[in-house]
Structure 1
Amino acid sequence: MEHPIEMNTLSQVLEKLRLKGLDNEIKMTDHGKMQGIGINKIYNPEDLTIIKTYRFEGDSDPADNSVLYLLEDKDKQIGYILDAYGMYSSQENTGFDDFLKKIPTADRDMQELFG
């Protein structure tokens, strides 16, 4: 019987996404929208659904935290948003948090995706 791979670190999850061809990073543009880098799409919050949230805490520094949001767009394409928070927040754009709060959430079992 095959055991699912434990995904305890950010790099493990990102590698698993890459192996599945789901490593489409979505980043905030200067115009307050999200852009799928790998799939070259522009998104409004209602175009996306957060299907899973992974939280990671730095081993050596509690301020070194990050969140990985796994998203699905209306065309069923999977992408992700990576946000380091705390002292090292990677999102300088002030609209990022507001945009994120407007995205609907549907927590899914990721076995179908990673299984």
Structure 2
Amino acid sequence: MEHQLHYDTVSNAIAALRKRGFTVDFNLEDNYIVSSQGKIHVDDFSIVDVYRYEGNTDPSDEAAVYAIESTNGVKGVLVSGYGPSADPLSTAMLEKLKIK
């Protein structure tokens, strides 16, 4: 995983990732990322890129934008809060989404 660019806002990062083919919107659910196309287990996707944003005045504005590709070629975006606004996640998912 390598940062190629940094975008000034979450929406700009999402727009640029969509242009790169990351068109599916993912959400988190236990050991899965989910979309309208179904569930993908934590072992069946990789993080291609990640962008982290911190709120200037409000810690609840902290977010990470993940570019994700599944082992079967589904590419999409996951936007997740971190810090105080983070969703409770399984240990496996926490490890997978850890920003390194």
The normalised TM-score by structure 2 is 0.71
Checking the alignment, whether the CA contact within 8 Å between 1:64 and 1:86 is kept in structure 2 is: no
Alpha-carbon spacing, 1:13–1:70, altered in 2? closer, same or farther (3 Å) = same
Which structure's residues are more often strand, by fraction?
A: 2
For 1:32 and 1:104, the matched residues in 2 are separated by 11
Structure 1 segments of 4+ aligned residues over 6 angstroms from their partners = none
Taking every aligned residue pair, what percent have the same amino acid on both sides? Answer: 20
For 2:6 and 2:63, the matched residues in 1 are separated by 18
The normalised TM-score by structure 1 is 0.63
Alignment partner of 1:25: what SS? strand
Checking the alignment, whether the CA contact within 8 Å between 1:48 and 1:103 is kept in structure 2 is: no
Alpha-carbon spacing, 1:53–1:66, altered in 2? closer, same or farther (3 Å) = same
RMSD: 3.0
| Match of residue 100, structure 1, among 69, 77, 93 | 93
Unpaired segments of 5 or more residues in structure 1?
108-115
> What is residue 56 of structure 2 aligned with on the other side?
59
Please identify, of 66-75 and 55-64, the stretch whose mean Cα deviation from structure 2 is larger.
Answer: 55-64
> What is residue 35 of structure 1 aligned with on the other side?
34
Unpaired segments of 5 or more residues in structure 2?
none
| Match of residue 67, structure 2, among 62, 65, 70 | 70
- Specify the structure having the higher radius of gyration (Cα): 1
